[in-house]
Structure 1
Amino acid sequence: MNLQCADCHSIRSNGLCLRYGETTIFQELNLCIPQGKVTVFIGSNGCGKSTLLRSLARLLKPHSGEIILDGSDISSLSTKDVARRLAILPQGPSAPEGLTVLQLVKQGRYPYQNWLQQWSEKDERMVRKALELTHMTDLAERSVDSLSGGQRQRAWIAMTLAQETPTILLDEPTTYLDLAHQIEVLDLLHELNVHENRTIVMVLHDINLACRYAHNIVAVKDRKVWSEGPPSDVVTEKLIREVFDLECRVIEDPLFFTPMVVPYGKGKTPVQAPAASVVSKAAAI
């Protein structure tokens, strides 16, 4: 075991092989998720990002290899023990009709309940804290199915927070949300990382938002990690071409100074910028 890696990473995989039937999704995958950071998986549709996330949460059993969670082989831990260490929010979760936000968030305390220990003052305190952190206190008695997309996603995140886990995994948490609600959810996850020191691992399709919010980006292609590291090191024109088969320019985001991908595909080439004299003349008119 790499002790240095174990000390600074919340989740690791060693020689991980994932399969669906006879189809190999990943082969001999070694991956480290840095503790206390935001990690984002990127890659083309069907490359295995969600499969990898599910395996890290023990929702998919590896064909071979191991996943180490907080220094322990995740396969040796009980279900409740895993649920106390990490929470996962799958893509497009659904709640029973009529379930209130408060009832949903209370379900996050399930890992701490047993026949000896029923609902406690701490459970109540953690639920209130989760509602406060997600700004959902005023909506606690509303039914989940009556909420807007952004509010609904915040309610589900509140449930994961009530689990009181140091690590949170999210599969495409911004899918089906408009841009304003995407930023709302990502800002919330950023705050949880900064103020609560939560390790955040998520799958995102928007590469520019991934660059803005991630400390660490994992690009996936051809059953392996194609590139991994800070956005400025990973997101290049060469990588976008290799991983997404897309032509682009990578420029600096004018607000956050992170990489910003400007795609143009193969059928439409960029227009040359007009000469300075022409621009000046047009401005004068």
Structure 2
Amino acid sequence: MFGVNALETRDLSIGYGNQFVFQDLHLSIEKGKVTAFIGSNGCGKSTLLRTMARLLKPQKGNVLLEGHSIASLPTKEVAKRMALLPQGPTAPEGLTVLQLVKQGRYPYQSWLQQWSKEDERNVRQALETTGLTELSERTVDSLSGGQRQRAWIAMVLAQGTDIVLLDEPTTYLDLAHQIEALDLLYSLNVSEGRTIVMVLHDINLACRYAHRIVAIKDQKVYAEGSPEEVVTADLIEAVFNMKSNVIKDPLYGTPLCVPHGKGRIIT
């Protein structure tokens, strides 16, 4: 449906008991773009992502998935349109990469519809895209951190959704594997037009890979827009309570945040 956002929140209020995390939130996630949520620890980034994925029920308001109320859609229908990779997922001991990736085809299985050629094709393509074909018989717990994250991303890809949500996909990864994971996600957006929504702690990586930044503070969206529009020294101080210089990344031209430290004198 032309012009419809991938995801949208309307008058959304999220909370635990009497304590609100967000109130009357309006937010639109544009189709075919990479969007990154940034903000200080505990500001509600992951809670918002989980609510948009229908893992948490809002206290008020609604989440729209491609123009339709997500609460009214059958669970398997949602899973065919949107995939979520939570933070720090774990696999049962002894599960192979192939077995894990096959789990992504669960929404398409039923008593009448068993494993099909399309399922096989999606799994094979997911393994190829993530470079895990030769490791498909390895157990997930035997992989390196970067390989393990690629295996989880492969499972999400096998699900075959146009919308992919990821909660801190670079957590526990060293810098090289962070770049590897984000390069993979960005290439999926460029080559396949998938909508990617990520919670990221690293502001500079968010600026490098995202088309749109959503900065969260005080139970609301503090700012949203392109990295160039959003990420300024004033915003960094307001959202993270940290002074910094924001310069242009010499390689990519995106905003680059240089925090002020206390260990050295800035002249």
Paired amino acid for 2:110: N
Partner deviation per Cα, 1:114-134 (whole Å, 9 max, x = no partner): 000000111001100111111
2:192 is the counterpart of 1:196: yes
Task: Give the one of 147, 150, 168 matched to 2:146.
Answer: 150
1:234 is aligned to 230
Paired amino acid for 1:225: V
1:8 Cα shift? Answer: 4.2
2:92 is the counterpart of 1:96: yes
2:34 is aligned to 38
* Aligned mates of 1:194, 1:70 — CA distance in 2: 20
Task: Answer yes or no: is the 8 Å Cα contact 2:79–2:161 preserved in 1.
Answer: yes
* Aligned mates of 1:76, 1:271 — CA distance in 2: 56
Paired amino acid for 1:55: T
Q: How does 1:1-285 map to 2 (within 5 A)?
A: 7-265=3-261, 267=262, 270-272=265-267
Partner deviation per Cα, 1:214-249 (whole Å, 9 max, x = no partner): 000000000000000000000000000000000000
Paired amino acid for 1:93: P
1:21 Cα shift? Answer: 1.5
What 5-or-longer segments of structure 1 have no aligned partner?
Answer: 273-285
* Aligned mates of 1:25, 1:145 — CA distance in 2: 35
* Aligned mates of 1:77, 1:237 — CA distance in 2: 42
CA 1:71/1:248 → structure 2, altered by over 3 Å: closer, same or farther?
same
1:62 Cα shift? Answer: 0.5
1:93 Cα shift? Answer: 0.1
Q: Secondary structure at the match of 1:210?
A: helix
* Aligned mates of 1:164, 1:95 — CA distance in 2: 20
Q: Secondary structure at the match of 1:202?
A: strand
When Rg is computed on C-alpha atoms for both structures, the one with the higher figure is 1
Q: TM-score, normalized by length of structure 2?
A: 0.98
1:271 Cα shift? Answer: 2.1
Paired amino acid for 2:187: E
1:24 Cα shift? Answer: 0.2
Task: Answer yes or no: is the 8 Å Cα contact 2:4–2:67 preserved in 1.
Answer: no
Task: Answer yes or no: is the 8 Å Cα contact 2:247–2:255 preserved in 1.
Answer: yes
Paired amino acid for 1:207: I
Paired amino acid for 1:146: S
1:60 Cα shift? Answer: 0.4
Q: Secondary structure at the match of 1:7?
A: coil
* Aligned mates of 1:126, 1:262 — CA distance in 2: 42
Q: TM-score, normalized by length of structure 1?
A: 0.92
Task: Answer yes or no: is the 8 Å Cα contact 1:264–1:270 preserved in 2.
Answer: no
* Aligned mates of 1:222, 1:71 — CA distance in 2: 27
* Aligned mates of 1:221, 1:98 — CA distance in 2: 41
Q: Secondary structure at the match of 2:6?
A: strand
Q: Secondary structure at the match of 2:138?
A: coil
* Aligned mates of 1:254, 1:241 — CA distance in 2: 23
Q: How many residues align?
A: 267
* Aligned mates of 1:214, 1:22 — CA distance in 2: 34
Partner deviation per Cα, 1:191-216 (whole Å, 9 max, x = no partner): 10000111000000000000000000
**Backbone CA RMSD of aligned residues:** 1.2
* Aligned mates of 1:178, 1:38 — CA distance in 2: 22
Q: Percent identity?
A: 66
1:277 is aligned to none
* Aligned mates of 1:57, 1:149 — CA distance in 2: 25
1:280 is aligned to none
Partner deviation per Cα, 1:43-98 (whole Å, 9 max, x = no partner): 00000000000001000001000000011100000110110010000000000000
